[in-house]
Amino acid sequence: MFTKAGVYDPNKIFGITKLGEIRASSFLAEEAKVRPSTINCPVIGGHSGITIVPVISQSKPSMQLSPERRKKITQRLRVSSI
């Protein structure tokens, strides 16, 4: 896809992991008090630490969280493991 668009640079490609998505979705589901299987939150970056970024604004269904709650969920994702 990137090659076709003429923008492929292997030094600038991010990966995603299903584990990160599952963890982010689980944390958001806990926040919303719903089953984790009902939430899908994409994640970009690495597996943990500051490189993992949950894209809460793109979660399905949409989640309306305060900046403080977003920060807490992001921090929890970055430091915890299941």
* Under 8 Å between Cβ of 64 and 57: no
Rounded-to-integer distance, Cα 79 and Cα 12, Å: 24
Which residue is catalytic, options 37, 47, 58, 71?
47
The DSSP symbol for 52 reads E
* Catalytic residue list contains 61: no
Q: What is the pLDDT of residue 16?
A: 60
pLDDT tens across the length of the chain (82 residues): 778 888 888 777 665 668 889 999 999 999 999 999 999 999 887 776 888 889 999 999 998 899 999 999 999 998 875 4
Rounded-to-integer distance, Cα 56 and Cα 45, Å: 14
Q: What is the pLDDT of residue 20?
A: 87
Domain 14-77 class in CATH: alpha beta
**How many residues does the structure list for the chain?**
82
